[in-house]
Amino acid sequence: MKRKFAAATAVVVMASLSLAACSGEAEPAADAEAGPVTLTLSGWSLATTPEFQVLADAFHEKNPDVTVELKEYDAAEYNTLVTADLAAGVGPDIITQKEVKFVTTFQEGGQLLDVSDVELPDGIGGASSYEVDGVAYGVPYRQDRWVLFYNTALFDAAGVDYPDGTWTWDDYAEAATAISQAGTAKGAYQHRWQSTVQGFASAQEGTDILEGDYGYFADSYERVLELQDAGAQIDFNTSSANQLTYQGEFGKQNAAMMPMGTWYTATLISQQAAGEADDFEWGIAPIPQLDDSTTGTDNTPVTFGDPTGLSINAGIDESKVQAAKDFLAFAASLEAAELLAEIGITPAVADDNVTEAYFAVEGAPTDDLSKFAWSTGDVAPENPTSNKTASIQNILLDMHTAILSGSTSVDQAIKDAEARFENEVGSD
């Protein structure tokens, strides 16, 4: 059955409605210090990223004596600027962890407070990404995961069945080729990021980039090269030369499928409402799997995605510590998750109410498979928590570029990456 998803209201507008939906389920921060407390919270792009203000306002509503003030940093230089402020003793009380790979940088600098005593809800994802040697230095509040976006109209035009949750990567490649051969659009668009190959391979192979053995990437890269050669997806060099955007390629119906993070849901709804994307039917499916052992809605699909979390500045005034921990507990709660879902954010924990809140936004898909793909998954981190991760990812980025640009064979590029790992990183 064809499904029509109306695109009408930009998701960011929902931020103004979220406070009205506060259910009041969580108890106020009774353990906070008596008297008014002001906490500062770091964030970025505040005008277009409403999640920080939503959390701050909702927490203040429940705890009138605690005010959370936002401290904005440039998104492109976020970690550098926060690090500088912390070193200068003027850092925020609560640090939003924009990228997991920088957690160890802050922790090794002695800049993060132990928050192992902050209570987290059952089933929350991403908590282990903030643990170092068994100690928690942050809590997750957001957990995006990678799924498969698909354009139902282009599938219909090509006479190809929609994804149904049972797909392996072979099924994906077969569908992409068939759609491309039908001549209406490319079967798929794969953005230039190394994540679009390496993230899935690491998660579904159950491997760890910290080990330095990268032969498991070979099959994934061979499949991508075959799809490029067949014309089923635009090639890496053309995408790079023209600086194509994933929003434009999918939103303007140049491709019928696109692996992408769940954050794109809100963007697509907003762009369709504003006329920046075409008005077409679309849905979300689980990302294709390595084999059929994890396919189908009776199983749990394996995917990847790093959480976004909150830490506490180790230099915080002692009188503010309990209030800051209470804020972290609230941000990670199901109550906060529902508020985040209402503005198109994928929280780190979800139940039926949270899922319904997310898909109640006008323009969101309403089918069961989309809800399943968004809410269900074994989500592996793209960036393991280690002081080696950033260096390794740079090596793997060079490998990715060498393979997809055609400058180096798959096998040779993998050997080069493994040699660089031994020379530049080494094993413990």
Q: pLDDT by residue (tens digit) across 406-427?
A: 999 999 999 999 999 999 998 6
**Are 171 and 293 in the same domain?**
yes
Q: Is residue 401 part of a domain?
A: no
- Residue 422, pLDDT score: 96
Mean pLDDT (the chain, rounded): 91
Domain count, the chain: 2
- pTM as predicted: 0.86
Over residues 53-84, the pLDDT tens digits come to: 999 999 999 999 999 999 999 999 999 999 99
Q: Which residue has the higher pLDDT, 331 or 4?
A: 331
Dihedral (Cα; 46, 304, 140, 103), 10-degree rounding: -80
Q: Where among 327, 347, 372 does a domain terminate? A: 372
274 and 342: one domain? no
Where is average pLDDT lowest: 21-30, 120-129, 157-166, 233-242? 21-30
Kindly report, residue by residue over 225-246, the tens digit of the pLDDT. 999 999 999 999 999 999 999 9
CATH number at residue 130: 3.40.190.10
Domain that holds residue 41: 11-144+306-372
- Mean pLDDT of the 245-269 span: 96
* Same domain, yes or no: 62 and 139: yes
What is the reported pLDDT for 14? Answer: 34
Please compute the mean of the pLDDT values over residues 322-333 and round it to a whole number: 98
132 and 166 in a single domain? The answer is no
Residue 12 has pLDDT above 70, yes or no: no
Q: Judge if 246 and 115 occupy the same domain.
A: no
**For residue 428, what pLDDT band results from cuts at 50, 70 and 90?**
low
As a whole number, mean pLDDT of residues 192-221 equals: 96
Residues 82-96 have a mean pLDDT of 96
Q: What percent of the chain has pLDDT over 70?
A: 92
Question: What is the model's pLDDT at position 48?
Answer: 86
Among candidate residues 372, 393, 414, the one where a domain is terminated? 372
